[in-house]
Structure 1
């Protein structure tokens, strides 16, 4: 039997990490984790951290990585944001899948409260100024 598991049955939207961990643990093959439309906040001090060597990071000096949503050893599940926004607070990854198969993420936006990287386009430059 497949189930729809609501994240809000396990968490408060103002600090979602601990509850989402519990909701993920309930997921079985075929289930859907639903985030009813809202803005969900994830803070680094409440999120799961694990030793994880990743590309494009200094994994040897800082192997302990933090994840807002960590899904491990799950198959055939869907994470449906229903149009929600997940707001990440702190230097961490929004998602990590470890040992998973056939996991779908749909209908959400991820936003970092204080991004550590910025992408921009230079539209004009002169001798003393750059316009972005």
Structure 2
């Protein structure tokens, strides 16, 4: 995504998840968590230059992106829970800022009627090591 592209609204993101299979949800979560790791690492580096206004701006921007991506990970987690998939392995290693997905987005995910399988067996991915391949 380019710096000028706005992310889709959370309700649209939640609706789009309904069309994804469980392995795809795990891949998207992994992609977002990898991005979160790099954003936090970048902010740590940028913080070494407290007098640089460009660095301060980048840190502020990154904080906004971090919050948006954490919300998306939470929405994916809720969708997986709704499908009966264990999500204990999805805990973020990034310090929480107390933010979570808005209640209306959580309700959208919880109230949806997706008929996707609860595990990867139906789509041939049972037992495979899931991840993002670049």
TM-score, scaled relative to structure 1: 0.26
Bigger Rg, which one: 1
